[in-house]
Chain A
């Protein structure tokens, strides 16, 4: 079975940093596009970043460009999101999601349970 387990969320001060992790099992990250989607408390979904199967194609939402970095470690079968220069508006549950295919332009077939990032002083 496909499983995605996020971790790394925490309470952090404005300007701080975190590294979010998404441990995958039941499939190889190297064969699929992977994404991060976030959801502020009580609000809707926001697409944050994505990476295709071989890492050749990476894209970020304008709201996080220059502050967030997506990456993955194939040996650990884990997806990461380095989040820097955090702002109050970055407070959200961060979900990782797997694409249907190796491509970048894909719907999200599987989702993790999310990890909460709270930015507050």
Chain B
């Protein structure tokens, strides 16, 4: 099983700041099969990024993904108030598929 470790666990930031979230895999992820989701309280997760770096439909371009192998990142170039949420990475490269434990972005 591929274990995904996200860091940091919680980030306190202000609107307008730039942030980079990390997702590290315990094994090599081939073909870039890594996705990112955003979840707000009381809501279902929402797909942001798939295939490491492709934005999902209607996701603004301030969100970007990158990485390869075992190290992946999600960057938000300029935080908007609606971006404060929990972010999860997800590998769909091998079974069982797994999620990271999440990174919570909170308003400073």
Which residues of A does B touch, CB under 8 Å? 35, 37, 44-47, 50, 59-62, 95, 100, 104-109, 111-114
Contacts and interface: CB of A to CB of B under 8 A. Distances in A.
B15 interface: no
Contacts of B96: 47, 59-62
Nearest to B97: A47
A44 B88 contact: yes
B71 interface: no
B95 A108 contact: no
A44 B100 contact: yes
A100 B39 CA distance: 19
Interface residues of B, number: 26
Contact of A100 (B1, B50, B97): B50
A5 B87 CA distance: 23
Interface in B49-98: 50-51, 56, 86, 88, 90, 92-98
Nearest to A4: B44
A59 B56 CA distance: 26
A109 B44 contact: no
A95 B45 CA distance: 9
Interface in B31-53: 33, 35, 37, 39, 44-47, 50-51
A44 B47 CA distance: 15
Given A100-B50, A114-B44, A105 B102 contact: no
A107 B102 contact: no
B92 to A, nearest CB: 5
B40 to A, nearest CB: 13
B34 to A, nearest CB: 9
Nearest to B39: A45
A107 B88 contact: no
A111 B46 contact: yes
A95 B90 CA distance: 15
B102 A44 contact: yes
A47 B98 contact: yes
B45 A45 contact: yes
Nearest to B54: A107
